[in-house]
């Protein structure tokens, strides 16, 4: 199963991609995570991406396409993958199509998480994650069970993303609305787009996505 999790920042793409990865073993390809790792490691890509990410803009198509081209060629992607945060421009979407066609890989579904802008700001500005294991939390919607202790690994250090500040969130939403949302008709015209109510509780969103995945798998089995 090859999926794209599609939606604005804060829609829950990463959360749902993590759950799908755990449940089905698909490879999760998060371009945001790849870039943050590159920034932390101080690589050439990281140096180029750092300021753009901090401003809430989009990193250049050339860099992003090269990153995904390398990653999608890895053997673990053959068992299925979930793209989280890619493509974000029409050029990226077209290049992805070319890459997949070259490798004879099918894109099964683009799952659009629909969430109102006001909700997105609230979601993004409250999120934080465990510094050690990366588990994600939210001040109001998903606090740790014990204050200051990670539910997953018991560590006590947490981090907030630099670009989750209210000032930067507006630019990120603007980039989504101007450059990324126009991809929706592109995927709708290919018959792969499915919309899911991203305003629902996390478990309910997961159930809706599971239903989509289940239908595709049933169809694949029955030919």
Active site residues: 13, 88, 127, 161, 172
* CB of 9 vs ligand AMP, minimal distance in Å: 5
* CB of 184 vs ligand AMP, minimal distance in Å: 15
Contact 153, 170 (CB under 8 A): no
What the block records as the tokens of 102 is 């070259």
* CB of 86 vs ligand AMP, minimal distance in Å: 4
Please pick, from the candidates 50, 88, 123, 127, the single residue that binds ligand AMP as defined by CB under 6 A: 88
Contact 115, 198 (CB under 8 A): yes
Neighbours of 42 (CB within 10 A): 10
52 contacts ligand AMP (rule: CB under 6 A): yes
209 contacts ligand AMP (rule: CB under 6 A): no
83 contacts ligand AMP (rule: CB under 6 A): no
What would the x/- binding string for ligand AMP be over residues 10 to 39, using CB under 6 A? ---------------------xx--x----
Contact 85, 35 (CB under 8 A): no
Residues 144-163 touching ligand AMP, rule: CB under 6 A, are 163
Beta strands in the chain (DSSP E): 2-6, 27-30, 81-84, 109-114, 127-130, 136-138, 158-159, 193-197
Q: SS3 for 4?
A: strand
Contact positions toward ligand AMP, by CB under 6 A? 9, 31-32, 35, 52-53, 56-59, 64, 85-88, 92, 163, 172
């Amino acid at each position: 199963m090859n999926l794209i999790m599609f939606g604005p920042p804060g829609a829950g793409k990463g959360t749902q991609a993590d759950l799908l990865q755990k449940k089905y073993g698909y490879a999760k390809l998060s371009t945001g995570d790849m870039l943050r790792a590159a920034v932390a490691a101080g690589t050439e890509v990281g140096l180029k991406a750092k300021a753009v990410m901090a401003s809430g803009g989009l990193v250049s198509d050339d860099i992003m396409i090269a990153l995904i081209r390398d990653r999608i060629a890895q053997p673990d992607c053959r068992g299925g993958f979930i793209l989280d945060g890619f493509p974000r421009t029409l050029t990226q979407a077209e290049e992805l199509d070319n890459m997949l066609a070259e490798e004879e890989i099918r894109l099964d579904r683009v799952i659009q998480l629909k969430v109102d802008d006001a909700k997105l700001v609230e979601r993004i500005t409250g999120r934080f994650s465990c510094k050690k294991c990366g588990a994600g939390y939210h001040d109001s919607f998903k606090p740790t069970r014990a204050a200051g202790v990670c539910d997953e690994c018991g560590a006590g250090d947490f981090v907030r993303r630099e670009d989750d500040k209210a000032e930067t969130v507006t630019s990120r939403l603007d980039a989504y609305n101007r450059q990324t949302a126009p991809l929706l008709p592109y995927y709708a015209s290919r018959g792969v787009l499915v919309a899911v109510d991203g305003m629902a509780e996390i478990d309910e969103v997961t159930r809706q996505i599971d239903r989509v995945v289940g239908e595709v798998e049933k169809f694949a089995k029955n030919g």
